[in-house]
Amino acid sequence: MKKVFGLAALLVALVFSVTAPASAELEKLKVGATAGPHAEILEFVKEGARELGLEIEIVEFSDYITPNAALDEGDLDANSYQHKFFMDTQNKDRGYKLVSIAKTAVCPMGFYSKKLRSIDELADGATVAVPNDPANVGRALVLLEQKGFIKLADGVGYGASVLDVVENPKKLKIVEIEAPQLPRSLDDVDLGASNVNYAVEAGLSPLEDALLLEDPATSPFANIIVVREADKDLPVFRKLIAAYQTDAVKAFMLERFKGAFVPAW
Q: What is the mean pLDDT of residues 95-105?
A: 97
Name the CA dihedral angle for 193, 79, 43, 51, rounded to a multiple of 10 degrees. 150
Secondary structure of residue 28 in the 3-state scheme: strand
Choose among 214, 202, 20, 242: nearest CA to 107: 214
> Any bridge partners for residue 253, and if so which?
none
Choose among 80, 178, 193: nearest CA to 132: 178
Give pLDDT tens digits for 65-84: 999 999 999 999 999 999 99
Structure confidence at residue 197 (pLDDT)? 83
Structure confidence at residue 8 (pLDDT)? 42
pLDDT band at 3 (very low <50, low <70, confident <90, very high): very low
Question: CA 139, CA 72: separation in Å to the nearest integer?
Answer: 25
pLDDT band at 24 (very low <50, low <70, confident <90, very high): low
Domains detected in the chain: 25-108+220-263 (3.40.190.10), 110-213 (3.40.190.10)
pLDDT band at 5 (very low <50, low <70, confident <90, very high): very low
Residue 1, pLDDT above cutoff 60: no
Structure confidence at residue 142 (pLDDT)? 96
Secondary structure of residue 174 in the 3-state scheme: strand
Q: Which long-range contacts (CB under 8 A, 24 or more apart) does 198-201 make?
A: 198/36, 199/110, 199/112, 199/260, 200/36, 200/37, 200/257, 200/260, 201/35, 201/36
Average pLDDT of the chain to the nearest whole number: 90
Choose among 149, 172, 176: nearest CA to 161: 176
